[in-house]
Amino acid sequence: MDSLTVQKWLWKWSLKSGVISIGGFLTMSSLSYFLYFTVEEAGAPIPAELARAHIAAGLILVAICVCLFWGGIKENRMCLIPALMFGGSIFTMLIFITLTISLVNPYALFLVFVIAPLIYCWMVVYSYYIELDPRRMQFTSNTVISYAGTTDNMEPVKLPEVV
């Protein structure tokens, strides 16, 4: 088992429910962020280029969060990749900023308590991504796949082995 994987969401629920709840929360918060700052920028005297860039970044964030939510519901590995990439880059940036600020202000190390839950949520999404890998699936002898092509009076048909 990889060292970055977890078995359960909050030590009780399945990883699928964890990804759906993380995706739902992030979708709602990113939509709120996008709508609030879009309305704020409409009345603020800021350059149009900055407003357009901010709106585009907000739309990208909403798309990533919706992709995470949809990937959790439909069990689609490919929809989890944008959230994994975005989360990894954000954590790298936050840790770098925290360490840089802590050189001047040692109290900045308390930001670790903010970063730790985010890293745990990223680990849940990563674990679910690994769990959905078809190459890692293991079938017992009682499954439908092992009995495919058999009848009572015939020998079982030899099917390709699932790796």
- Taking the domains of the chain in order of start, what are their residue ranges? 15-136
Residues 78-97 pLDDT 10s: 999 999 999 999 989 988 98
Q: How far apart are CA 94 and CA 25, in angstroms?
A: 20
Q: What is the pTM of this model?
A: 0.76
State the CB neighbour count (10 A cutoff) for residue 128: 25
Structure tokens at 87: 């989360």
| Intervals of the chain under pLDDT 50 | 146-150
User: Mapped to the 3 state alphabet, what secondary structure does 95-157 carry?
Assistant: HHHHHHHHHHCHHHHHHHHHHHHHHHHHHHHHHHHHHCCHHHCCCCCCCCCCCCCCCCCCCCC
Within 13 Å of residue 92, how many CA atoms lie on the same side as its CB?
A: 6
The helix/strand/coil state of 33 is: helix
Nearest to 33 by CA among 64, 78, 2, 5: 64
